[in-house]
Chains A and B, each alone.
Chain A
Amino acid sequence: MSRYELRFSGAGGQGLITAGIIMAKAASIYEGKQAVQSQSYGPEARGGASKSEVIISDGPIDYPKATTVDALLAMTQEACDKYTHDLKDGGILLVDSDLVKNLPKGNFKVISFPIINTAKTDVGREIVANIVALGAMVALTGQVSRENAEKAVLSSVPEAFIELNRKAFSIGYERALAASA
């Protein structure tokens, strides 16, 4: 089966649920695949550890939650500690290099770059760090094309922020390619 599992994790308020939704939307609406997005979160609207999971497949998806994760994004140390236990051997681990210092033991393909700082300095707004991260995840996982992912991003953000998000996505995509080269 072609089941591919992604997990976007970090702190509440970092926009990771949104990032997961856009990834799943790219796959199911634009890429012609099937996708399910789900999430778990604590009582905090801001802070705490939060995760958003996306399952992508060519066929119907039964179990909507992750079993063994193919690719994982961790935007905080807490999320990295809490959510990497079921990352599969050889799986992709993308972390924010400023915030995640202790990496889990295991045979993972680790890519790290300062995601939030990239959003702040290169894109100009910290708030789009989730889209920078999404761009990077799209580049690293290859589950959806760059074009379809960009379409999903642009259809999910308010009109006034389209250019900002396009830039964030693009920079994230490029940075991940460079970091994994």
Chain B
Amino acid sequence: MSKKVAFLQGNEAAAHGALYAGCNFFGGYPITPSTEVAEVMSIELPKIGGKFIQMEDEIGAMAAILGASLAGSKVLTSTSGPGLSLKQELIGYGCIAEIPCVVYNVMRGGPSTGMPTGPSQSDVMCAKWGTHGDHPAICLTPASVQETYEEVIRAFNLSEKYRTPVMVMPDEIVAHMRERIVFPEQGEIEVVPRKTPTVPPEQYKPYDTSFGDVPPLAAFGSGYKFHVTGLNKMQDGFPTTKAEIVQAEEERQVRKVDANVDDIVTFEEYLLDDAEVLVVAYGSTSRSARYAVNIAREQGIKAGMFRIKTFWPFPDKQIKALAGKVKGIVIPEMNLGMCSLELERCAQGKTPVLGIFRVDGEPINPDQILDKIKEVK
């Protein structure tokens, strides 16, 4: 039987990916250029008995999905730059209270209202450092419509597996362009269920580390009763200021991601075996980069691409290894040098990092990247 295909926009694919992953609650607020996700969810969720709610603001949307997740739902919200700034307060809540949720953020020009319909990649640092305090961060940056679909599913899986908010951040180009998408069959892509308690309610503690760094999470209304707070907490969920407990719990929350980098980090290596010039790219910019690398190869330049699929945690190990082998790293990105900073950190001075930074609302075209590849000596 041939698989179902469709010609979809990145945002539409994201919504369908969420549904494949079992999303049954969406809370949102309208914002360009991500609104299509909410529109698709408003059509599809009630058909399967799921819930869609348009909240009064971005913070309310984030709050509603966290509440629904605690009540046992698999939850999604979608937004863009200004909305992401507002949501940061409660993304932090999701991190400390360890509530699974997926935040889909389309990157548009910023800061502030910026360029609502213009593409950008300037939210990637906000994905890690946007909310205050130390916290784990997972952020995926898909580069095609098909990949957006698949990465949203992976985001749900990671968020359930590690009991933490996960962000999917396509740039506006990926979010709004349309491509053919092939839908996987049911069961073809793994869907990770939430780890729920195996102990009886009277023994349940929502942060019980005897089950490992990711304790099981019961749902409100499922026979378990427990306390959830945004304060630093103990294993039973109640607040504490005891130094050793706070330290240990904070470290555990971050360790959920840090100790599992190899499980989370994904990337694509393109023509890297003999590469002398390393182009690192993510999102739609990687498409321009691939085009430029191909032309460079035709012209006899040994260029290759490392495509970041998981932006956070950053692929430190891979970049550090590559940095010792190449003459230079070229990083095209639609911001004034964000990934570039991470690359410099990983390159440790072993190789120069050359940036192409564009914030004018226009995509970085292959010619710009080719020119920069040629600057590497």
Contacts and interface: CB of A to CB of B under 8 A. Distances in A.
**Contact between chain A and chain B defined by CB under 8 Å:** yes
Interface of A: 21, 24-25, 28-29, 34-43, 61-65, 67
A171 to B, nearest CB: 25
A65 B363 contact: yes
A36 B179 contact: yes
B235 interface: no
Contacts of A24: 7, 178
Interface in B256-280: none
B117 A28 contact: no
B178 A21 contact: yes
A28 B177 contact: no
Interface string B58-69: 000000000000
Interface in B172-205: 173, 176-180
B13 to A, nearest CB: 13
A40 B365 CA distance: 16
Contacts of B243: none
Given A24-B7, A64-B284, A38 B176 contact: yes
Interface in B283-337: 284, 287-288, 290-291, 294
B21 to A, nearest CB: 25
Interface in B1-55: 5-7
A25 B7 contact: yes
Given A21-B7, A34-B180, A62 B365 contact: no
Given A21-B178, A29-B7, A34-B180, A62 B294 contact: yes
15 contacts: A21-B7, A28-B7, A28-B179, A29-B5, A29-B7, A34-B180, A35-B7, A35-B179, A36-B179, A37-B7, A37-B178, A38-B177, A40-B117, A61-B287, A63-B291
A67 B366 CA distance: 9
Nearest to B32: A43
Nearest to B286: A62
Interface of B: 5-7, 116-117, 173, 176-180, 284, 287-288, 290-291, 294, 363, 365-367
Nearest to B293: A62
A41 B179 CA distance: 19
Given A24-B178, A35-B179, A43-B117, 11 more contacts: A21-B7, A25-B7, A28-B180, A29-B180, A34-B180, A35-B180, A40-B117, A62-B294, A63-B366, A65-B363, A67-B366
Contact of A63 (B6, B117, B176, B287): B287
Contacts of A61: 287
A161 B294 CA distance: 45
5 closest Cβ pairs, A-B complex: A62-B291, A38-B177, A28-B180, A37-B178, A25-B7
A-side binding surface: helix, strand, loop or mixed? Answer: mixed
Contacts of A67: 365-367
Q: Which of A34, A37, A40, A61 has the most CB of B within 10 A?
A: A40
A150 to B, nearest CB: 16
Nearest to B287: A62
Contacts of B363: 63, 65
Nearest to A1: B294
B179 A63 contact: no
Contacts of A21: 7, 178
Nearest to A37: B178
Nearest to A28: B180
A167 to B, nearest CB: 24
A64 B7 contact: no
Given A24-B7, A42-B117, A36 B366 contact: no
Nearest to B10: A38
A153 to B, nearest CB: 13
Contacts of B367: 67
A56 to B, nearest CB: 12
A30 to B, nearest CB: 10
A62 B288 contact: yes
Given A28-B7, A41-B117, A43-B116, A62 B290 contact: yes
A34 B180 CA distance: 8
Contacts of A29: 5-7, 180
A36 B291 CA distance: 15
Nearest to B369: A63
A37 B180 CA distance: 10
A29 B5 CA distance: 8
A39 B5 CA distance: 22
B366 A38 contact: no
A38 B173 contact: yes
Contacts of B116: 43
